Amino acid sequence: MNPHQFLLENVFFTTRDMAFRTGKSITSTSRKLSRLSVDGSVTRVTQGLWAQIGHPLYSKYGVIQLLLGNEQGYISFLTALHINGVISQIPGSVQIATTGHSRRLISPIGTFEFFQLNPKMFGSGIKESNSRLTYYIATTEKALMDTLYISARKNKRFSRLPEVDLGEFDENLFKKLLREQITHKPIRVNILRKLAKLR
């Protein structure tokens, strides 16, 4: 595959992947991408990871699986609540639940915040997006549970939430997720107390 065809087909990609798919060395591919970045054709997201923000399929959410690498993860917290129409306020960062370490990545395409959750919390309540560049995102109930879980454990984060619209919120499903994924009873009680204040 020639580099032009590769760039037509890939919105996000690594230097290594482009080199492999085009039959070029990593060194020459890296030089080519550096040249393309000067005129804005590609944008360096982080070391060895690139984006084409002018591509018709571009959405910053599409890069998440590449940022996660071998970790499990999905969009959650206020970002998922906004995408799902529960809050109108747009979060300043893309918030992601991960099995890896908590961290923050500030990049030219946005700020990405990763919050470490117990692997037992990775199961029900996560869906695949219906976009061409797929990513995983929490349902409303799961995103709210994740948010209140972090708030219950780390009092300063998510201690004050924007106004929420719980019109289509399924409280029974929320409680089912809570029973399945959070075993520590005092935290469950705290989360339910916080939920009651939002109703």
Cα angle, residue 82 at apex, residues 13 and 62 outer, rounded to 5°: 10
Mean pLDDT of the chain: 92
pTM given for the model: 0.90
Coil/strand/helix, residue 80: helix
The 10s digit of each residue's pLDDT in 86-123 is 998 889 999 999 999 999 999 999 999 999 999 999 98
Long-range contacts of the stretch 42-50 (C-beta < 8 A, 24+): 42/7, 43/108, 43/109, 44/108, 45/12, 45/107, 45/108, 45/109, 46/105, 46/107, 48/14, 48/15, 48/16, 49/12, 49/13, 49/14, 49/15, 50/12, 50/13, 50/14, 50/15, 50/18
Domain boundaries, the chain: 3-51, 60-198
Low-confidence ranges of the chain (pLDDT < 50): none
Given this model, what pLDDT does residue 145 score? 95
- CATH topology for the 3-51 domain: Arc Repressor Mutant, subunit A (1.10.10)
Given this model, what pLDDT does residue 3 score? 84
